[in-house]
Amino acid sequence: MRILTFTSLFPNRMNPDFGIFIFNRTSHLAKREGNVVEVVAPVPYFPNFLKWTARGSVVSIPPTEQIGNLQVHHPRYLLVPKVSMPLHGLLMYAGCMSYVKRLHQKCRFDCIDAHYVFPDGLAAVLIGSSLGIPVVVSARGTDIHTFQGFTTVRPQICWALRHAAGVIAVSDSLARMVRDLEPGLKDAQTIGNGVDGHRFFPEDQQTAREKLGLDLQDKIIVSVAALKYVKGPDLLVRAAALLKESFAGGKVLFVGVGPELESLQQLAEQLDCADICQFVGPVPNDQLRTYFSAANVSCLASRREGWPNVILESLACGTPVVATAVGAVPQLLADRELGAIVDPTPEAIHAGLSRALQQEWNPETLSAFAQGHTWENVAARVEVVLKRATGQMAGY
């Protein structure tokens, strides 16, 4: 098959970890025999004279680049942040339509593999309708959890789902939401993400801690997540305050960046747990293994999720996970030998962490479970959906 992957969330030379999970799925899809994949990853137009501003790094993204084994195109489209949100998908379509048409005329695509139902999926379905190419859209979380709540966006999401040739959701809960949104939908296949076993595997804990300058005697909790409300970092800070009262030698590492950093630091000061809360900042994806391996347990305190990649990454490194019961978490941590599922409250998170820190875990069991979720397997399942959408395989 000749496949066009369409997504605005994809690595580029300015941000090599941006949307790396989509890169992994697409890259392994391209490695399967008989497939040729190109990527269109549109970026908003930004004037060159403003390239030194906070958003100006997009100016330095080239029109075309090679990312791993994939050729990636970056057409520009007009977008005014926040103001243009209801028109985001239409603007993306307008900016990319002629570009994709030229690529299609050069060498025809069999299908479009689009990631995020809105705005990317809407734009891709419009492009596919114009060119007569079937489109499979993947729902990943925010596109359904958040955007369907906007009255101007919800009908656009429903239209994209209704006119897509296939729909993939990264979790069973997300698949149910998609079916509720568009009852006429034939089906929504649940296909989660995989884990890169060459990047995530157990390191010796002592060696990992020495690399990071961590005390060998401390009980380390690591949270790899953006510092924003939906990821629940405030819940974890409050749980850390409870942990300080009940568990000596605990330390919580927050790995990530986000708009709530300052408020979280203030909260930690107010709750007298700033001494055990360390805000590490951003860490490249290929260095996260050391943080997971150094920890006794990892924690994801999210209020909403699709398929949280950090759970499999932590388990692949032999580190158990305490996570809130949202999105695909109940699927991933159904086995109690892998971690604990808790309610999204400071008290429940604290209780789960306390139990996890006192429990004996088998790193081999954790890693083996995660390593069974390979990107090769994910790509094979996605390929089936794409072939059904193009009529190359019956039964969809």
For residue range 323-368, what is the model confidence (pLDDT) as tens digits?
999 999 999 999 999 999 999 999 999 999 999 999 999 999 999 9
At 129-176, the pLDDT tens digits run 999 999 999 999 888 888 877 889 999 999 999 999 999 999 998 999
Both tokens of 297, joined, read 């347990």
Both tokens of 14, joined, read 């300015």
- For 343, residues 6+ apart whose C-beta sits below 8 A from its C-beta are 324, 325
User: SS3 string of 308-365?
Assistant: CHHHHHHHHCCCCEEEECCCCHHHHCCCCCCEEEECCCHHHHHHHHHHHHHCCCCHHH
pLDDT score recorded for residue 48 = 63
Indicate the residue type of 195: V
Superfamily holding 2-194+375-389: Glycogen Phosphorylase B; (3.40.50.2000)
Which three-class secondary structure state does DSSP give residue 374? Answer: strand
Model confidence at 47, pLDDT cuts 50, 70, 90, reads: low
127 close to 109: Cβ distance less than 8 angstroms: no
pLDDT score recorded for residue 44 = 92
Looking at domain 205-371, does it have CATH number 2.40.30.10?
A: no
At 74-92, the pLDDT tens digits run 999 998 877 788 899 999 9
Residue 352 to residue 225: CA distance in whole angstroms: 18
Q: Closest Cα partner for 113 from 189, 16, 173, 58? A: 189
Indicate the residue type of 43: V
Domain boundaries, the chain: 2-194+375-389, 205-371
pTM: 0.90
pLDDT score recorded for residue 396 = 44
Are both 2-194+375-389 and 205-371 of the same fold?
Answer: yes
Indicate the residue type of 128: G
